Structure 1
Amino acid sequence: MQLLIEPSGNCRCVYSEAIDVRQIGEASIRRGSHVEPTADGQWTADLSPVNGPSLGPFSTRSEALDAEVEWLLEHWLTPGA
């Protein structure tokens, strides 16, 4: 799990249960995307909550989840890294 500690002291991460983020301080958890099925049984990852694109379609939910995390790590957590 990657943590980004900003100069303000705020910490950002793509949430997982690898660590209890409440141990760092007060937690505010927000949705970064919506991984949903399409009418034809495919899957998409809509990253509009973080001003991102819609990814997909993918044939499995796990592929959509993997693409979601990859995009968040590259473009939201550490943009330009």
Structure 2
Amino acid sequence: MTAEKLDPEKTEYTVVIDHEEIYSIWLTDREIPDYWKTVGFEGTKQECQDYIEEVWTDMRPLSLRTRLEEADKQ
């Protein structure tokens, strides 16, 4: 399916997350690459973007957050 043929009101996406806790969306009819995993939410592009906006409150990668937390403990 090409981008020109995608209907934003009907095309289904799934929300995915990587090892750094970075969120993205993926077409539900496509195989998800190994470095992403699903979070259990599917919907239209807008619904998925709204979900990500709600749950992804700290956009810093996990490795950076971890380093900063360790530095704060010292």
After TM superposition, the score normalised by the length of structure 1 is 0.32
Greater share of residues in helix: 2
- Structure exhibiting the larger radius of gyration computed from Cα positions: 2
After TM superposition, the score normalised by the length of structure 2 is 0.34
